[in-house]
Amino acid sequence: MPVSGIEVSAEYDRTWIESGRALQLYAEIMPENASNPYVEWSVNEISGTAFIEADGLLIAGSAGEVEAVALARDGSGVSGSYRLTIESSVIQVLSIEIHSEGDVSSVDEGKVLQLYADVNPGNASNKDVFWHVSGSDGSPVGSITSEGLFIALGEGQVDVLAIAKDGSGVFDNFSVTVMGPSGTEVLGLEGLNIYPNPGNGLFHVDLGELNGGQLKVIDTGGAIVFEYMLEPGVLVYELDLSHHQLLLPLTGLKTALQ
């Protein structure tokens, strides 16, 4: 008895499958007592790609629409089909938001600031980002590591970019302002009396008419080698710099009051 009809179905009645996954298809032959109940499987690739094995196991290829066809082997020409949507297994980044440790946007020269990139959606296939500091006029304002650690090199403002690595082209930018070594008003040696100068590492600083704030000694490389909170009414302070590799006398140092 020849085949009069074929109904194709999928495991769990699925109508979609992710790229690279497999899905079992079934062919129900009518009538049940057909002389030759076997079928030959094939795939019509509409906008996607797929491969189907002799037992009806379909392997999804690229994203798009495909149609699985079961053709009766008895020569009757009867067939049945089943349409499937193949979805990409890659979930691309839709947005990135940069934020900093402490939610600040400024950092002192010579210091570092940790930046973070929040990638959305949370289940994106590749959540990694490239960190990049945009070019600026003049001296470099800062650089950034692959882990998002911004290193302040000089005063100014610069944009830091986090760019998705998944090829989506999504990015976010964050403006960072780099301030002077102390981020405050920096006073030179004028108005201060430092003695003995030159010396062997033990100095006294007479503030004169200056009073209050914080005393910082900064070397020519921008590093703070001494800092002390000034006490009201105390105008003379002792500085022990004998453990620091400095060029003495103290003409190469700045004394900062903030």
Buried b or exposed e, range 33-43, using 16+ CB within 10 angstroms:
ebeebebebeb
Tokens, residue 247: 């060029």
Asked whether residue 187 is domain-assigned, the answer is no
Which of 34, 62, 87 is where one domain is finished? Answer: 87
- What's the whole-number mean pLDDT along residues 57-79? 96
Q: 53 and 116: one domain?
A: no
Q: 81 and 112: one domain?
A: no
**Residue 60, by phi and psi: left (phi above 0), alpha (psi -120 to 50) or beta?**
beta
Q: 108 and 74: one domain?
A: no
Look at the pTM and tell me if it is higher than 0.75.
Answer: no
Tally of domains within the chain: 3
Q: Do residues 186 and 145 lie in contact, with contact meaning Cβ atoms separated by under 8 Å?
A: no
Asked whether residue 42 is domain-assigned, the answer is yes
Q: 78 and 128: one domain?
A: no
Q: 82 and 101: one domain?
A: no
Q: 79 and 105: one domain?
A: no
Measured CA to CA, the distance from residue 213 to residue 229 in angstroms comes to 6
Buried b or exposed e, range 113-139, using 16+ CB within 10 angstroms:
bebebebeeeebeebebebebeeeeee
Which of 179, 204, 235 is where one domain is finished? Answer: 179
Q: 54 and 9: one domain?
A: yes
Asked whether residue 185 is domain-assigned, the answer is no
Check which CATH number belongs to the domain holding 167 and give it: 2.60.40.1080
Asked whether residue 188 is domain-assigned, the answer is no
Question: pLDDT tens across 213-251, in order?
Answer: 667 666 545 566 777 777 777 777 787 777 665 444 444
Question: pLDDT tens across 106-140, in order?
Answer: 888 888 999 999 999 998 889 999 999 986 555 67
Query: Beta partners for 8?
Result: 27
Q: Which domain, by its residues, includes 205?
A: 193-257
Which of 35, 53, 87 is where one domain is finished? Answer: 87
